[in-house]
A and B are shown apart, each in its own frame.
Chain A
């Protein structure tokens, strides 16, 4: 069973922003010795699009995100970020995105404000201090601005990480499990922040196990299984192609796609 992709389709919220893709993954593969973590993966992310990356543990989500960010070197294929090859022009490519990993490690002895200073200096952001207040307010961090970051809770660290990402106004934000450790208000605030920034043209590529979040937030969904692309497209398209009923949830779609052919998934090939 194969599910064709719909990667040229634009998300509803970003119809007018359909320029060159901000992320272009072509035939990407990553192997560790004999073990292939990801095989032959291709997809694109358009400006203003929110793409959700879902898959079971070990499916290759984090490997894919880390390869896009230049942390891992692809074994095969190439990855372009805003037109820059991450291997050949790493510095130019890295100026275009912000990456928030699943585990956040702050600088032990820097305060929240100093983390923002560090990002402002590294990315040469002009008049950065003017943006701090709005960002810290938006993420409920205003009263923590002089706290040493290592004393912050997991949720607060997540917010600090988002503040550092949003400060640099990147063309694409890459998030690995973005809502881990956040309280309900924090989750709602961050969802709103992501939506508003996406409407303004920032693309988001997020990986999560929370299928409900992906369903509510994402325009496109990329399903990975055992290192292979199983499906890519809007939920409606994947749902239709998986021959599921119209109100089937992403969870239903996910299991239908990944557990087909008696639990042995069939790769989607060129979707």
Chain B
């Protein structure tokens, strides 16, 4: 390892650690960090629980190892070239470093990750292992070998043509899927591949190829899998066995590194393209732009709408509708997901309907409760759908500053921005509602509830996610480099639930205080009233935050 590269890596590591510590002064980062620390502390406190013993069973560990191997291979191959940080391209690629030195420099964060992962493993699973240190060391070395595999796959993928890469990529994915299916079937008896795929008729199509069931029912494999499942936990029986395992995995890690260095491929050209692509993707995500580039640069322009609704602030709604119409891929994915989700709910209701028509007796009150649960689940669909329709501030991140120069009030603009995603969520939900209505025949109260509650929920969820985006945008505008962090994401997910707490709590209280037939309508009314008030507050906050989005002093 080159001295200069070691110095660079250590300095960057130190800077990032200090930066992270400084960031802890911010309440959101501190809360997120405290949540993670508490989570780890909770696990550590309960590390003697049998759940942890279950997690170090042989079959689970082998499954995990397969997942790590398959994941590394896929992740590496998918990239087609190593991903570096953009400054690395400028400084390292043009400096007199050998390819091996640069590859090793690229592997250093991975090695650090492997060590940290090993420490966490040791801390949590130590009570359930006979030789915890040896097992943890095995995990560290195995993870390192996986990183070598991923790096090798990425470098190799860069040497082949784009067409071949595209084909092999799907083949690798297929192989990974087959290995997973085989593992699940052999070790856990789970059938991932439907039985008709291994039926004699289907086998004729593949003849003389081996089918999954041929492999799974092979006597030697069966014997091996039985031995896996029968062992209660993965423990080296004697120290010598552990040392042999450690030596073997260490040799694999060393051999994989040696093979990696022997790879005759120029990493620079492919890494340049991959790094640029990854950096552009990160930037686009951060700025709320579309990750996928537009394939067709020439389109039929939409005509100027004559409807007065689209004038003034309505222009924002029109613009977002045009953008949505150009995002067919996203809409198709959302439609597919909605069909699967609502299809499941409709199937449940149809099953009940069918059972009742066959003479099954169920009190009307229970049927109504069942319908209420289905409506609730349909309402929950927005939670996932809103991510598929970012036709709001999330897509307009680049234009926040420009919007400040439009002759539109911030409140109207915030409301206009939320209109399209909310309308899309409601439109997609409407499909499920119509089918459920045919099967259920909802009463007027339920209809009214859906008509009023669905928009309130959709508005609230879209509001929360936009609020999160605008908060990050204002921090960016203030000169801080903000990128989406998993902690922030967890906080937003939590807030997505908490935003319904005031309305839900009020509804429960009203329901408890009132009796008789008016109790339910009153509780629903209270829920709607509070929820719309919360929605209004969210929109107000969006408007305020939008007003605050000043540009950075860096660009004076």
Q: Do A and B come from one complex?
A: yes
Q: How many Å lie between the Cα of A16 and that of B556 in the bound state?
A: 35
Residue of B with least CB distance to A109: B326
Q: Which residues of B contact A110 (CB under 8 A)?
A: 319, 322-323
Q: Which residues of B contact A146 (CB under 8 A)?
A: 298-301
Report if A258 contacts B (CB, 8 A): no
- Prevailing SS type, chain B contact patch: loop
With A35-B553, A148-B299 known as contacts, the answer to whether A121 contacts B323 (CB < 8 A) is: no
Report if B476 contacts A (CB, 8 A): no
Report if B352 contacts A (CB, 8 A): no
Residue of B with least CB distance to A124: B311
Report if A213 contacts B (CB, 8 A): no
Question: Size range of the interface on A?
Answer: 35 or more
Residue of A with least CB distance to B302: A114
Report if B222 contacts A (CB, 8 A): no
Q: How many Å lie between the Cα of A97 and that of B402 in the bound state?
A: 13
B553 touches A94 (CB 8 A): no
B301 touches A145 (CB 8 A): yes
* Min C-beta distance of A35 to chain B, whole Å: 7
Q: Which residues of B contact A32 (CB under 8 A)?
A: 553
Report if B331 contacts A (CB, 8 A): no
Q: Which residues of B contact A101 (CB under 8 A)?
A: 401-402
Report if A63 contacts B (CB, 8 A): yes
Q: Which residues of B contact A72 (CB under 8 A)?
A: 550-551
B399 touches A109 (CB 8 A): no
B407 touches A122 (CB 8 A): yes
Q: Which residues of B contact A73 (CB under 8 A)?
A: 550
Question: Size range of the interface on B?
Answer: 35 or more
Residue of A with least CB distance to B297: A151
Q: How many Å lie between the Cα of A199 and that of B67 in the bound state?
A: 71
Q: Which of A62, A107, A122 contacts B556 (CB 8 A)?
A: A62
- B 280-323 binary contact with A (CB < 8 Å = 1; else 0): 00000000011001101111111111000011111110110011
Q: How many Å lie between the Cα of A101 and that of B296 in the bound state?
A: 27
Report if A247 contacts B (CB, 8 A): no
Q: For B289, B395, B407, which residue has the most chain A Cβ atoms within 10 angstroms? A: B407
Report if A11 contacts B (CB, 8 A): no
A121 touches B298 (CB 8 A): no
* Min C-beta distance of B325 to chain A, whole Å: 9
Report if A241 contacts B (CB, 8 A): no
With A101-B402, A145-B301 known as contacts, the answer to whether A121 contacts B322 (CB < 8 A) is: no
Report if B228 contacts A (CB, 8 A): no
A147 touches B553 (CB 8 A): no
A111 touches B401 (CB 8 A): no
Residue of B with least CB distance to A121: B315
Scan residues 92-126 of chain A and give those whose CB is less than 8 A from a CB of chain B. Answer: 92, 94-95, 97, 99, 101, 105, 107-114, 117-118, 120-124
Q: Which residues of B contact A71 (CB under 8 A)?
A: 401, 404-405, 550-551
Report if A91 contacts B (CB, 8 A): yes
* Min C-beta distance of B307 to chain A, whole Å: 10
Report if A251 contacts B (CB, 8 A): no
Q: How many Å lie between the Cα of A111 and that of B302 in the bound state?
A: 9
Report if B555 contacts A (CB, 8 A): yes
Report if B266 contacts A (CB, 8 A): no
B406 touches A94 (CB 8 A): yes
Report if A150 contacts B (CB, 8 A): yes
27 A-B pairs with CB atoms under 8 Å apart are A35-B553, A37-B556, A58-B556, A62-B555, A63-B556, A66-B551, A71-B551, A72-B550, A90-B409, A97-B405, A99-B402, A99-B405, A101-B401, A101-B402, A105-B398, A105-B402, A107-B319, A108-B290, A109-B322, A109-B323, A114-B302, A117-B305, A118-B319, A122-B408, A124-B311, A148-B296, A148-B298
Chain B residues within 8 Å of A, Cβ to Cβ: 289-290, 293-294, 296-305, 310-316, 318-319, 322-323, 326-327, 395, 398-399, 401-402, 404-409, 550-551, 553, 555-556
- 8 further A-B contacts with Cβ under 8 Å, apart from A101-B401, A105-B398, A108-B289, are A35-B553, A91-B408, A92-B407, A95-B407, A108-B294, A121-B312, A121-B315, A147-B298
Chain A residues within 8 Å of B, Cβ to Cβ: 32, 35, 37, 58-63, 66, 69-73, 90-92, 94-95, 97, 99, 101, 105, 107-114, 117-118, 120-124, 128-129, 145-148, 150-151
